[in-house]
Structure 1
Amino acid sequence: MKLSARRIKSSNGERLVVLVDESGMPLFYPALYVTVHMRGRSLAVNTIQNALDAIKALYAWQGYYGHDIESYFSRGELLQAHDVHSLRDFMQIPLRRDNGDKIVSISGRPVTVSTGNQYARMSVIADYLGFLAGQLQRSSMRASEDTQRMVAQIKANRPRKSANSNRDRHEKHLDEALLDALEDAMKPGSGNNPTREYAVQVRNALMFSILRVTGLRRGELLNLKVEDIDFAKNTLKVVRRPDSEDDARAYQPVAKTRERTFPLVPELVDKIRSYVLAQRNKVPGVKKHGYLFVTHKSGASQGRPLSNAAFGKFMGELRSVIEGCNGIHAHSLRHHWNYSFSTICEGINMSPEREEKIRSYLMGWSETSGTAATYNLRHIKEQAGKAVLDLQYRHLRIERKGDVA
């Protein structure tokens, strides 16, 4: 059975995600699970999408081994230890998809998904199977206890979260000279520019500049409207617009963090104004919405807000412009902004408490989340490394280049 996670935009602008079969019919229990357990908690549509991806992997597992979980549960049978072990191993496998986002087969490549991905899959599956058993089994104290044991066994088989399984956010850092060279190559009219159309060159260069100097998330950038730029006060405002009715994108980019306002240098504001007046406003269809960055290419999507897919294609093109740009993506620029902010705060002797407070505001985080401290960790590690070397130079009485030990 080929399954697809389909996004739907309702008449009031709400984005929905449903798991459908080849005929387009939603699967009943996944839809019920999302309605009861996820939408009621006002979870983001991308969170629901990730949960349905895990449930698709569950259906792929049962299809591969010929299981029918719903029939098992209806007969009062639950997953046994060997089933859980099989499920655990299967959740390591990357699943190949076609362009319709349907699981079609198990990839033959000798690779596995990340530990974090496997952990997330099994967490969702444990919760979903507990819900499914509760729906299909006769209600009794023993059935409830057996279900809880099955759920606990699935969770116990999740991989351990290793500190080395994912690169820590504080370790991601871009070279300033590389970013300068990339920005030069992206200037409208540059011979190294990967885009031919001048208006698109202007748009892309502007998007890159805004990401670099503000640390905005991709969704926040694509969610910007012209009205969010105060051309008199030289500010940019990040506004939350979940389920916006005037946004035609099914995969609507949204601001995940708190609303906030950035001051901008007049020169950058002038570039935004120039793009709006000389490029954006000449594109047919832009008057139907106020989104800042739009599709310029002729076709059905011309004039519409720039999609996540189109933005991803733009970022992908940057990796081939200059050697060493393989690590360039929107979030790496956010990490780099945080590192640069740390060095500026150090240069003006700002207290750690005030630095964390300001960083939390500019990034849209709660001051109590602890995220600001996480992003500052790389800079702290560098400072610690310099201090250790200074101690060694002094202890060994070695003269250091540029100063005296």
Structure 2
Amino acid sequence: MIVLTDLHGSPAPHYHPNLYAVSEYRQVGRSAHTIEKVLRAIGMAKSWAEMRGRDLDQDLTAGSFLDGSDALDLVRFLSLNAADQHVERESAKPESKVVSFAARRNKEDQSDTPYGAVPTAEVGNRIRWVANYIEWHRGRRFDGRDLAEAETQLNASAHNLVSNLKGKAPGNHSRWHDDELLEAPDPDVLQHIDEILTPGSSTNPFRSEFVQWRNYLAWRLLFDTGARRSEVTTAATDSVIGAKNRFQIRESKTIARTVPIIKKTADVFDHFFMTYWLNMPSGCEAHRTGALFTDKAGSPLTSGKFLNRIFLTVRPMLGSQPWQLTPHTMRRAWNHILSLKLDRLPKDQRFSAEKEAQMRIRLMGWSENSRQPARYNRRHIRESADRIAQEMMDEINPNGVLSEESRNDQ
């Protein structure tokens, strides 16, 4: 369970932010990952208020909320990266001699190349999350009761503040063309990676047999299922059901699920489990907890960094590519392969866009209101349209040779 505590390490949780997270996010099934990001944004807003000698929750529950200048300054602070926020907090302390590096650069440089800039989409999310938190406070304080004149004015002011904040949140304009952002390796590249990582391969960059089989098993699970990095990292030995060719994803930032794997992957698991996992040191942590991915001594690899190392090591072996190979790339690759599979189905067996979206939701572990399936459907439509257009032109000029009339036009 994610909770917001004091910036200075106090174990006491902040009451209102955590009540908000439980009632508005946790109880409606939102993921721990989302709750953490929302609470981080609220924590930034509370830190901003603290620098000015104020208590944000006190202002929202019994004070005068925030004014227009507060909103502008809060938006500016939420737009800073963690390092610059820290510098600003330190410089706000009495008799501090700390000066922000960004403050010492001339304004022209700042406008062109902001140092450590936070992505626009992230800034927009932070501002909207804080605005929603303020709106929650406003509703609890004023809705459903008769208000005095002063309270009515304050309620209207709070309404305007929330609208003002949301209006300053930059939009993610790439969402209209986000199918272009989902590029991933084609199946032939994935096959090349599989050949590189196959244990015993002359091109395998990892020398230890234990590491080769462990890494190959992790790769196969990503390849077969498109699971998230954390979903593979936290797998246990009983997560792989070899007899049924299934992989149980129990710990997920969204939805736990059981997904299919091929027999090859189940066989890789059996070999790794029987040959290496069972022969780890007696009494090791892996044997006590059942963790599947460990080091040679049986200590679980909980951070997922070992998966990152696999991809960082293989990436240079592939040469220049239009995408960056990462564990998350495999989710895109899986969806791309699904699109290719659906295109090969006879017309009478193809799925509607709605059923295709439901299929992606089920296997990817997305929530029902996720926009990701629609994004992949848009990419699928784009690819199909491009392919049909290319085939159409090839049929007109099958050898790629311009007609006599076209040459004359040139």
Match of 2:319 among 323, 337, 350: 323
Q: Which has the higher strand share?
A: 1
Indicate the residue corresponding to 1:341 in structure 2: 338
Larger Rg: 2
Match of 1:259 among 257, 260, 272: 257
Conserved in 1, the CA contact under 8 Å of 2:361 and 2:373?
yes
Deviation at 1:187, TM superposition (A): 3.0
Conserved in 1, the CA contact under 8 Å of 2:226 and 2:331?
yes
1:307 paired with 2:303, answer: yes
Letter aligned with residue 176 of structure 1 = P
Match of 2:117 among 112, 118, 123: 112
Conserved in 2, the CA contact under 8 Å of 1:194 and 1:321?
no
Conserved in 2, the CA contact under 8 Å of 1:170 and 1:374?
no
Residues in 2 aligned to 1:327 and 1:166: alpha-carbon distance in whole angstroms = 19
What RMSD in Å do the two structures reach over aligned CA positions?
3.8
Letter aligned with residue 344 of structure 1 = K
Alpha-carbon displacement from aligned partner over 1:9-66 (angstroms, at most 9, x marks no partner)? xxxxxx3333233243333443343344433334322121111221232234335666
Indicate the residue corresponding to 1:78 in structure 2: 65
Alpha-carbon displacement from aligned partner over 1:334-375 (angstroms, at most 9, x marks no partner)? 111111122223223254316726555433457896754532
Deviation at 1:392, TM superposition (A): 4.5
Residues in 1 aligned to 2:344 and 2:313: alpha-carbon distance in whole angstroms = 35
Conserved in 1, the CA contact under 8 Å of 2:187 and 2:337?
no
Give the count of matched residue pairs. 366
Taking structure 1 as the reference length, the TM-score comes to 0.75
Indicate the residue corresponding to 1:398 in structure 2: 397
Percent of aligned positions that are identical: 22
Indicate the residue corresponding to 1:126 in structure 2: 131
1:16 paired with 2:21, answer: no
For 2:173, what is the secondary structure of its paired residue?
A: coil
Conserved in 1, the CA contact under 8 Å of 2:127 and 2:165?
yes
Letter aligned with residue 276 of structure 2 = Q
In the alignment, structure 1 segments of 5+ residues that lack a partner are 1-14, 242-252
For 1:96, what is the secondary structure of its paired residue?
A: helix
Summarize the Cα distance change of 1:148–1:312 in structure 2 as closer, same or farther, 3 Å threshold. farther
Indicate the residue corresponding to 1:374 in structure 2: 375
Taking structure 2 as the reference length, the TM-score comes to 0.74
Deviation at 1:236, TM superposition (A): 1.1
Residues in 1 aligned to 2:166 and 2:308: alpha-carbon distance in whole angstroms = 34
Letter aligned with residue 126 of structure 2 = R
Deviation at 1:131, TM superposition (A): 4.2
Summarize the Cα distance change of 1:212–1:287 in structure 2 as closer, same or farther, 3 Å threshold. same
Alpha-carbon displacement from aligned partner over 1:87-133 (angstroms, at most 9, x marks no partner)? 223322222299x9xx8797745242222211210111112234456
Conserved in 2, the CA contact under 8 Å of 1:114 and 1:165?
no
Conserved in 1, the CA contact under 8 Å of 2:48 and 2:77?
yes
Indicate the residue corresponding to 1:285 in structure 2: 285
Deviation at 1:80, TM superposition (A): 1.5
